[in-house]
Amino acid sequence: MHHTFDCNQPRLCRSILGLIAVTGMLAVLIAPAASAQDAGRRAPQESEQPQYAIGDQQQASLKTSDGGEIQYLLSVPDDFKGDKVPMMLFLHGRGESNGPLSLVAKWGPPMKAARGDAMPYLLVSPQCPRDDQWRSPTQQQRLVELLDHIIQQHDVDTDRIYLTGLSMGGYGSWTLACDHPDRFAAVVPVCGGGEPEKASALVNVPVWAFHGDQDKAVPFEKSVDMVEAIRQAGGEKIRFTTMEHIGHNCWSATYATPELYDWISRHRLSDRQ
């Protein structure tokens, strides 16, 4: 559209031109923001497979065989060169169920990845529905399907798959490890609990458990019971760190321990053969 202004009315002309300029600036400023908001609201697609974005943490989802869905964050190591890459499966706590998928990056390895820390793993961080828990049969089956999906879609080194989780995720880690001990090269349950009668399945699995001795949410004894059951079954690869004078949030100190990642990366599934 072509506009003609009567410049014999300078005050009106300046007002109109000023309004057009301001409107144009607002359009430029608002458009990127709206685009970012739309991107943030974009619903993950069925069995969505994000392309590798080095050093980035992406959102994806997988439709599961029970008609449900499991959403997850995926982070690729900065030094990924296209070869097979070790994988870490992280299970969050109860609080991170109550919000958007991005909330999963509040604690633990995905938090480290989100702030730019170098993580030498293909990091997979799923989100548990708020009305369920990681150790339930439904979520356990979905986790297995997610694990299979990631292995199928990406160049995962199946000799180096690691499992860790905190609080509710600690329970989920104990359960998943006991039911599938031959899938994980090392397991790190943090302030969780399990079923001691199943602990013998972890006799040959490198496990490093952490728990605060002042924990009021998940009793310290929950980890003690699992550790002792493994030892009584003959397990010699179990490590247990008591976080003295620390309550439920022992995970901040746990995942900030450099030695933890050195210990994890030393283990291979083939070492048990």
What is the span of the domain harbouring residue 188? 57-271
**Domain assignment of residue 13, yes or no:** no
Kindly report the CATH number assigned to the domain that includes residue 147: 3.40.50.1820
> What is the pLDDT, as a whole number, of residue 117?
87
Given a contact cutoff of 8 angstroms between Cβ atoms, the answer to whether 127 and 71 are in contact is yes
Look at residue 95 and tell me whether its pLDDT is greater than 90. Answer: yes
Pairing of strands 69-75, 122-127: antiparallel
Averaged over 163-186, what is the pLDDT? 98
Does 2 have pLDDT greater than 70? no
The confidence band for 273, taking pLDDT boundaries of 50, 70 and 90, is: low
**Cβ-contact 199, 178 below 8 angstroms:** yes
Quote the percentage of the chain above a pLDDT of 90: 71
The residues, ordered by sequence, that sit 6+ positions from 239 with a Cβ below 8 Å of its Cβ are 207, 208, 209, 263
**Cα–Cα distance measured from residue 45 to residue 250, given in angstroms and rounded to the nearest whole number:** 35
Residue 52 covered by a domain? no
pLDDT at 213 over 80: yes
pLDDT at 199: 97
* Residue 120 within any structural domain of the chain: yes
Report the run of H or E that residue 166 belongs to, with start and end. strand 156-166
Residue 251 lies in a domain: yes
- Of residues 43 and 147, more confidence is placed in 147
Pure H helices in 42-189: 108-114, 137-153, 168-179
> 28-32, 70-74, 236-240: lowest mean pLDDT where?
28-32
Candidates 235, 273, 209, 270; CA nearest to 86 is 270
Rounded to 5°, angle at Cα 130 from 126 and 131: 120
How far is C-alpha 90 from the geometric centre of its chain's CA atoms?
5
Looking at residue 28, what is its pLDDT? 31
Structure-token pair, residue 53: 């974005």
pLDDT averaged over every residue in the chain: 83
Residue 30 reports pLDDT greater than 80: no
Q: Which two tokens mark 240?
A: 């247990």
Is residue 29 situated within a structural domain? no
Is the model's pLDDT at 25 over the cut of 90? no
The larger pLDDT score, comparing residue 152 to residue 55, is at 152
Region 172-184: mean pLDDT is 98
For residue 7, is pLDDT > 90?
no
pLDDT value at 216 more than 60: yes
pLDDT at 38: 33
The band of 10, judged by pLDDT with boundaries at 50, 70 and 90, is: very low
pLDDT for 116-172, tens place per residue?
888 889 999 999 999 999 999 999 999 999 999 999 998 899 999 999 999 999 999
How many residues in total does the chain contain? 273
Residue 28 belongs to some domain of the structure: no
Number of domains forming the structure of the chain: 1
Residue 67 — left, alpha, or beta (φ > 0 → left; ψ -120 to 50 → alpha)? left
Distances in Å between the Cα of 53 and the Cα atoms of 96, 109, 237 are 24, 17, 36
Asked if residue 14 belongs to a domain, the reply is: no
**Residue 57 pLDDT class (50, 70, 90 cuts):** confident
Paired with 125 in beta bridges are: 73
pLDDT, greater one: 272 or 215: 215
Residue 79 lies in a domain: yes
